[in-house]
Structure 1
Amino acid sequence: MQNDPSEETPSKSFLGLQRDDQFFLGLLFIAILVLAVVHLARLSRWGTEPVEIERQKQLPYEYQIDINQATWVEFAQLNRIGPILGKKIVAHRETHGPFRSIDDLLEVKGIGPKILNENRIHLKPVTPDSD
């Protein structure tokens, strides 16, 4: 009975897996490893060339605001005038009446000649009301 051909010797198991299962897991591991390497190569942009993009020259802003009609939000869009200074301009206009000229903005605390000259192209000249 020792040499009974009907009795098969059990295949060696590794981690409780049969030989066929070990082979399948080995192939699965290799496939995952290959896909991971391909994914890393794509992430590193290996094998690609940089593309130069021609951009148009940036155009300057061309707009003007009426200093007697503008809101603080419109003033805040100007160079070196933020929301706080924009609100000060509107408060000054509401307290002292409409501005007679662009230079009257110098009366607002926080606006000096440098800021005014920098933004002069964006300010419409004051025209007298025709009543």
Structure 2
Amino acid sequence: MKLPKNLEPLELSRREFVVLCVLFSILMVGIAIKFVMDNHLGSGEIKVLRQNPEELTLRLDINTVEWYQLLPLPQIGEKRARAIVEYREKHGPFTDVDELLNVKGITPKVLEGVRGSIRVSGETSKAYGKEAEKDTGG
């Protein structure tokens, strides 16, 4: 078999030409496999971080909620929810969750029932291990 004229200056034998073709084919297959693995089969290990369900609890800010937003809380009906908002409007923002004890109808038992579901403006969730901060802006 005669080689194409453009390969004659390289002076490759037929055997060398076949070897080069095989090596080139192997190289192309390797590149294709690498491409598929990188782009279609994922790019390595995925870490799944789990959080304690207690940390995912929604905590309502008692300085900004409307009375009806408090209704899903345990032992908080319309009367207590309205009393909380009225107290806040009359006395200003709460500075601490325990200040709810000053609201008519909120007993220590009721407060303990809702404590994990409420917070005060500026207070950082203790569930994330940060210290509580108080709002300095208005």
TM-score (norm 1): 0.51
Bigger radius of gyration, 1 or 2?
A: 1
Match for residue 112 of structure 1 among 107, 110, 127: 107
Runs of at least 5 residues in structure 2 that lack an aligned partner in the other structure = 1-52, 123-133
- Contact 1:85/1:110 (8 A) holds in 2: yes
Aligned pairs for 1:39-58 (under 5 A) are none
Q: Which residue of 1 aligns with 2:66?
A: 71
Equivalence for 1:35: none
Distance 1:69 1:125 in 2: 9
**More helix per residue: 1 or 2?**
2
Match of 1:30 in 2: none
Q: Where has structure 1 moved over 4 Å in runs of 4 or more?
A: none
Please provide the CA RMSD for this pair: 2.0
Identity of aligned residues (%): 37
Q: Write the deviation string for residues 36-74 of structure 1: whole angstroms up to 9, x where unpaired.
A: xxxxxxxxxxxxxxxxxxxxxxx9993210010011011
Question: Partners in 1 of 2:117 and 2:57 — Cα distance?
Answer: 7
The equivalent position to 2:76 in structure 1, one of 61, 76, 81, is 81
Question: Is 2:125 the counterpart of 1:130?
Answer: no
Gaps of 5+ in 1: 1-58
